[in-house]
Structure 1
Amino acid sequence: MTILSTMWLMPLFTFIYVNGILPIEATHHVYRNLQSLSSDDSFKQPYRTAYHFQPPKNWINDPNGPLSYKGLYHLFYQYNPKGAVWGNIVWAHSVSTDLVNWTPLDPAIFPSQPSDINGCWSGSATILHGNKPAILYTGIDPMNHQVQNIAYPKNLSDPFLREWIKSPKNPLMEPTSENKINASSFRDPTSGWLGKDGNWRIIIGSKRNTRGIAILYKSKDFINWIKSKHPLHSAKGTGMWECPDFFPVLKIGRFGVDTSLNSDDVRHVLKVSLDDKKHDYYLIGTYNDEKDKFVPDKGFEEENIEQILRYDYGKYYASKTFFDDGKNRRILLGWVNESSSVADDIKKGWSGIHTIPRTIWLHKSGKQLIQWPVVEVEKLRVNPVKWPTKILKGGELFPINGVTAAQVSYVFFYYHKSYNAIF
Structure 2
Amino acid sequence: MVKTSLRLFIRCIATLVLSVLPVAAQNPDYDQPYRPQVHFSPEEHWTNDPNGLVFYQGEYHLFFQYNPFGDQWGHMSWGHAVSTDLLHWHELPVAIPEHDNTMIFTGSVVVDRQNTSGLCTHGDCLVAIYTGHTQTSEGIRQTQNLAVSLDKGRNWAQYPGNPVLDLHLADFRDPSVSWDPIAHHWVMAVSLPKEHKIRFYSSADLKQWTQLSDFGPTGDVNGDWECPDLIHIPSSNSAKSIWALKVGLNPGAPQGGSGEQYFLGDFDGKSFHQSRLRGSQGWTNYGKDDYCAISFNGLPKDQKPVLLGWMSNWQYAAKIPTTPWRGQMSLPRHISYVSDAAGLALKQEPIVAPLRGKNYEISALSTNTSTLYGSGHTLQPPFEIRLNFGHPVEPIFGLKIFSDQQHWIEVAFDTNKKEFYIDRTHSGAAISPDFPTRTKAPLVTTRPYDLTLIVDRSSVEAFAQDGTIAMTDLVFPVSNNLQIQIFPDDAKPIQSEGQLWELKSIW
TM-score bucket (shorter structure): 0.7 to 0.9
Equivalent position SS for 1:88: coil
CA drift at 1:379: 2.2
Q: Which runs of 5+ in 2 are unaligned?
A: 1-27, 115-123, 253-257, 395-493, 498-507
1:235 aligns with 2:218: yes
CA drift at 1:185: 1.4
1:349 aligns with 2:349: no
Q: Which amino acid aligns with 1:141?
A: T
Give 1:374-413 correspondences, 5 Å limit. Answer: 374=351, 377-385=352-360, 391=366, 393=368, 396-397=371-372, 404-411=379-386
Q: Which amino acid aligns with 2:284?
A: Y
CA drift at 1:88: 1.3
Residue 422 of structure 2: aligned partner: none
| Residues 1:400 and 1:226: Cα distance change in structure 2 (over 3 Å) | farther
> C-alpha offsets along residues 340-380 of structure 1, whole Å, 9 cap, x if unaligned?
96785477332221111000001143601111112xx2222
Q: Which amino acid aligns with 2:128?
A: I
Residue 83 of structure 1: aligned partner: 70
Q: Which runs of 5+ in 1 are unaligned?
A: 1-40, 177-182, 255-263, 302-306
Residue 221 of structure 1: aligned partner: 205
| Residues 1:232 and 1:128: Cα distance change in structure 2 (over 3 Å) | farther
What is the distance in 2 between the residues matched to 1:74 and 1:135?
A: 12
Greater mean deviation of Cα atoms: 186-195 or 354-363: 186-195
Please report the RMSD computed on the Cα atoms of aligned residues, expressed in angstroms. Answer: 3.2
Residue 12 of structure 1: aligned partner: none
> C-alpha offsets along residues 93-122 of structure 1, whole Å, 9 cap, x if unaligned?
00011111111111111123x4xx331000
CA drift at 1:234: 3.8
| Residues 1:416 and 1:345: Cα distance change in structure 2 (over 3 Å) | closer
Q: Which amino acid aligns with 2:197?
A: I
Greater mean deviation of Cα atoms: 82-91 or 188-197: 188-197
| Residues 1:414 and 1:105: Cα distance change in structure 2 (over 3 Å) | same
> C-alpha offsets along residues 249-282 of structure 1, whole Å, 9 cap, x if unaligned?
134349xxxxxxxxx9422111100123211100
Residue 257 of structure 1: aligned partner: none
> C-alpha offsets along residues 36-70 of structure 1, whole Å, 9 cap, x if unaligned?
xxxxx975631221111111222111011111111
| Residues 1:118 and 1:300: Cα distance change in structure 2 (over 3 Å) | farther
| Residues 1:391 and 1:123: Cα distance change in structure 2 (over 3 Å) | same
Residue 138 of structure 1: aligned partner: 131
Residue 119 of structure 1: aligned partner: 103
Residue 100 of structure 1: aligned partner: 87
What is the distance in 2 between the residues matched to 1:363 and 1:148?
A: 35
Aligned residues between the structures = 349
What is the distance in 2 between the residues matched to 1:399 and 1:378?
A: 31
1:309 aligns with 2:289: no
Residue 38 of structure 1: aligned partner: none
Instruction: Give yes or no for contact 1:42–1:57 (8 Å, CA) kept in 2.
Output: no
Give 1:2-401 correspondences, 5 Å limit. Answer: 43=30, 45-112=32-99, 114=100, 117-130=101-114, 131-143=124-136, 144-155=140-151, 159=152, 161-176=153-168, 183-194=169-180, 196-208=182-194, 211-228=195-212, 230-235=213-218, 238=221, 239-253=223-237, 265-277=240-252, 278-289=258-269, 292-298=270-276, 308-314=281-287, 315-323=289-297, 324-325=299-300, 327-337=302-312, 344-345=319-320, 348-365=323-340, 367-374=344-351, 377-385=352-360, 391=366, 393=368, 396-397=371-372
| Residues 1:393 and 1:118: Cα distance change in structure 2 (over 3 Å) | farther
What is the distance in 1 between the residues matched to 2:317 and 2:296?
A: 32
Equivalent position SS for 2:175: coil
What is the distance in 2 between the residues matched to 1:118 and 1:267?
A: 37
CA drift at 1:72: 0.8
Residue 14 of structure 1: aligned partner: none
| Residues 1:191 and 1:405: Cα distance change in structure 2 (over 3 Å) | same
| Residues 1:359 and 1:93: Cα distance change in structure 2 (over 3 Å) | same
- Higher strand residue share: 2
CA drift at 1:85: 1.3
Equivalent position SS for 1:379: helix
| Residues 1:388 and 1:242: Cα distance change in structure 2 (over 3 Å) | closer
Output the TM-score relative to the length of structure 2.
Answer: 0.62
Instruction: Give yes or no for contact 1:85–1:346 (8 Å, CA) kept in 2.
Output: no
What is the distance in 2 between the residues matched to 1:49 and 1:355?
A: 10
Output the TM-score relative to the length of structure 1.
Answer: 0.73
Instruction: Give yes or no for contact 1:233–1:294 (8 Å, CA) kept in 2.
Output: no
What is the distance in 1 between the residues matched to 2:247 and 2:218?
A: 11
> C-alpha offsets along residues 275-332 of structure 1, whole Å, 9 cap, x if unaligned?
232111000112233xx1211111579xxxxx93111110211010125216522101
Greater mean deviation of Cα atoms: 197-206 or 56-65: 197-206
